[in-house]
Amino acid sequence: MTIETRATVELKDLAAVEYQCNCGAKSVRPIGGGLRERGNTVPVKCEACGELWTVDGSVARHIAQLLNLVAVLADQKGARFTLRFEVAGLPDARK
């Protein structure tokens, strides 16, 4: 008999996104609809050391679009399926 343990996450379970600079500083921002309306902009530089993370605004714009899409999809009502992502590399909980 084989037992397989997998960890999955639904989009509605995602609460925040963490940005970590090469200097080690972290910034955690909540995920939610209307990032700009809520003031949760995507950082373009490190708040600790000032290192620019993107050369142009396209990366930050794509991240904002992704986070807004996650928020919209997580809030869908009446879907006839559940969308989950498998999380790799988690230790086996049975140990």
Question: Strand, coil or helix: what is 77?
Answer: coil
Q: What span, in angstroms and rounded, lies between the C-alpha atoms of 24 and 47? A: 11
Mean pLDDT of the chain: 83
Give the global pTM: 0.72
pLDDT in tens, 42-81: 888 999 999 998 877 788 888 888 888 888 888 888 888 8
Q: What span, in angstroms and rounded, lies between the C-alpha atoms of 68 and 55? A: 22
Residue 89: count other Cβ atoms within 10 Å of its Cβ.
Answer: 5
Segment 75-95 mean pLDDT: 80
